Amino acid sequence: MMKLTIDRPYYSSLLKIAIPIAIQNGINALLNMLDVLMIGQLGETSVAAVALANQVGFLLMLTLFGITSGAVVFTAQFWGKQDVPSIHKVLGICLVLALSVACAFVLVAEIIPSGVLSLYTQDQAVIALGANYLQIAGLSYLFSSVSVSFSSVLKGMGQVRLPMAVSVTALSLKAFLSYALIFGYFGLPALGIMGGAVGTLVARVLECGLMLLAVYLRRTPAAAHPRELLGFSRGFAVSYLKVAMPVVINEILWATGISIYSAIYAHISTGAIAAMNVASSIDNLAFVALMASADAGGVLTGHRIGAGDEQTAYQYARRSLINAAILGWIIGAMVISISGVYPDLYQIEPEVREYVRNILIILGLAIWVRGSNYTLVVGIMRAGGDTRVSALIDVSTVWLVGIPMALAGAYLFHLPIWGVYLMVMADEVTKYLFCLRRFFTRRWIHNLAGSEG
Q: What is the pLDDT of residues 295-314, one digit of tens each?
A: 899 889 988 988 888 999 99
Which residues neighbour 335 within 8 Å (Cβ) at sequence distance 6 or greater? 282, 286, 360, 363, 364, 367
pLDDT at residue 175, as a whole number: 84
Q: Determine the Cα–Cα distance for residues 155 and 149; give it in Å rounded to an integer.
A: 10
Q: Determine the Cα–Cα distance for residues 243 and 247; give it in Å rounded to an integer.
A: 7
Q: Let me know if residue 307 belongs to a domain.
A: yes
Q: With 0.75 as the threshold, say if the pTM is over it.
A: no
Q: Let me know if residue 450 belongs to a domain.
A: no
Distances (CA, A) of 214 to 16, 17, 161, 200, 217: 20, 19, 11, 21, 5
Q: Let me know if residue 35 belongs to a domain.
A: yes
Is the confidence at residue 421, as pLDDT, over 80?
yes
Q: Determine the Cα–Cα distance for residues 202 and 116; give it in Å rounded to an integer.
A: 24
Q: Let me know if residue 67 belongs to a domain.
A: yes
Is the confidence at residue 437, as pLDDT, over 90?
yes
Distances (CA, A) of 121 to 27, 114, 258: 31, 10, 15
Is the confidence at residue 2, as pLDDT, over 60?
no
Phi, psi of 366 (to 5 degrees): -100, -5
Tell me the pLDDT band of 6, cut-offs 50, 70 and 90: low
Q: Let me know if residue 453 belongs to a domain.
A: no
Q: Determine the Cα–Cα distance for residues 448 and 76; give it in Å rounded to an integer.
A: 10
Angle among Cα 102, 25, 20 to the nearest 5 degrees reads 115
**Number of domain units in the chain:** 1
Is the confidence at residue 440, as pLDDT, over 90?
yes
The stretch 145-166 carries a mean pLDDT of 89
Q: Let me know if residue 193 belongs to a domain.
A: yes
Q: Determine the Cα–Cα distance for residues 83 and 87; give it in Å rounded to an integer.
A: 7
Q: Let me know if residue 168 belongs to a domain.
A: yes
Q: Let me know if residue 451 belongs to a domain.
A: no
The range of the structural domain enclosing residue 202 comes to 2-441
pLDDT at residue 367, as a whole number: 96
* Average pLDDT of the chain, as a whole number: 87
Is the confidence at residue 229, as pLDDT, over 80?
yes
Is the confidence at residue 243, as pLDDT, over 90?
no
Tell me the pLDDT band of 163, cut-offs 50, 70 and 90: confident
The stretch 335-340 carries a mean pLDDT of 94
Is the confidence at residue 411, as pLDDT, over 70?
yes
Q: Determine the Cα–Cα distance for residues 419 and 434; give it in Å rounded to an integer.
A: 25
pLDDT at residue 141, as a whole number: 93
Q: Determine the Cα–Cα distance for residues 164 and 21; give it in Å rounded to an integer.
A: 7
